[in-house]
Structure 1
Amino acid sequence: MTSAPFERRVQSIPVTIVAGRDEALPSIPGATVLRVERPLHQHEAGAECVACAARSDVRVLLFDLLERARRGMVLPFSAVIIDARGVDDGEAIAERLLPGKQPAFGLRDHTVLRSFHLA
């Protein structure tokens, strides 16, 4: 991996999102699996919970993966599978990786959007 968390990768990494409850995870050589977790508790309509939002933010998960890889804490990978079978809105997860769909805030988001693409 790169020597700094915000460096640009030479080639972006493909990301496959599995969102159907009955869908099996694909077998992709060199892929690592990240799981998007269900919220820990219920919220009132319109209420935002920072903890739940961070647990389901694919940009946060992918940036953390890049950082762990940079530090040698995970095995090298050439693809990522996002296991979103436990959440209700898989499309919202995909939108976080599509250019122009949701704004990028801060270096973390820009690093993820440069380093990964939907497969």
Structure 2
Amino acid sequence: MTMPHIEPIPVTLITAPGQLVPLDADTALIRLPANSGHGHADGEVCIACASQTDVRALLYNLLEEQRREMRPAFRRVVVDARAVADPQQVVLALTGKLPAQALRDHSVARMFYLVGTA
């Protein structure tokens, strides 16, 4: 039995203040926050903030929600990273330049690709 071919999903990253990207019914939106304001400076890493800003984990969650029919199907993703202190880290995660931390990171690498930054 052969597995069906699944097309990779394009991801557009927004990093510039005031930049807008049109959304439609086929587009999922992920907003990456700055820190949660619980006592450390932007850019410092803590477990609570990492869970909200790990773009690979958030993309994997989108796939799982779609698979479980908890969200409508999507063909594109827009990641709003305007609040992130270092959006280059998001680019590195989306282009496979950061080490994979879990099996989900490999799934995301196969299923998503960065098409551009706005």
Which of 75, 96, 108 is the equivalent residue of 1:112?
A: 108
Q: Which residue is 1:58 aligned to?
A: 55
The change in CA–CA distance for 1:9 and 1:45 in structure 2 (over 3 A counts) is same
Q: Which residue is 1:93 aligned to?
A: 90
Letter of the aligned partner of 1:61 in structure 2?
A: L
The number of aligned residues is: 112
The change in CA–CA distance for 1:9 and 1:68 in structure 2 (over 3 A counts) is farther
Matches within 5 A, 1:1-119: 10-27=6-23, 30-41=26-37, 42-43=39-40, 48-99=45-96, 101-119=97-115
Q: How much is the aligned-residue C-alpha RMSD, in angstroms?
A: 2.4
CA deviation after TM superposition for structure 1 residue 87, in Å: 1.8
Q: TM-score, normalised by structure 2?
A: 0.83
Q: Which runs of 5+ in 1 are unaligned?
A: 1-6
| Mapped contact 1:38–1:86 kept (Cα < 8 A) | yes
| Mapped contact 1:63–1:108 kept (Cα < 8 A) | yes
1: distance between equivalents of 2:50 and 2:91? Answer: 15
| Mapped contact 2:35–2:43 kept (Cα < 8 A) | no
Q: Which runs of 5+ in 2 are unaligned?
A: none
Q: TM-score, normalised by structure 1?
A: 0.82
Letter of the aligned partner of 2:109 in structure 1?
A: L
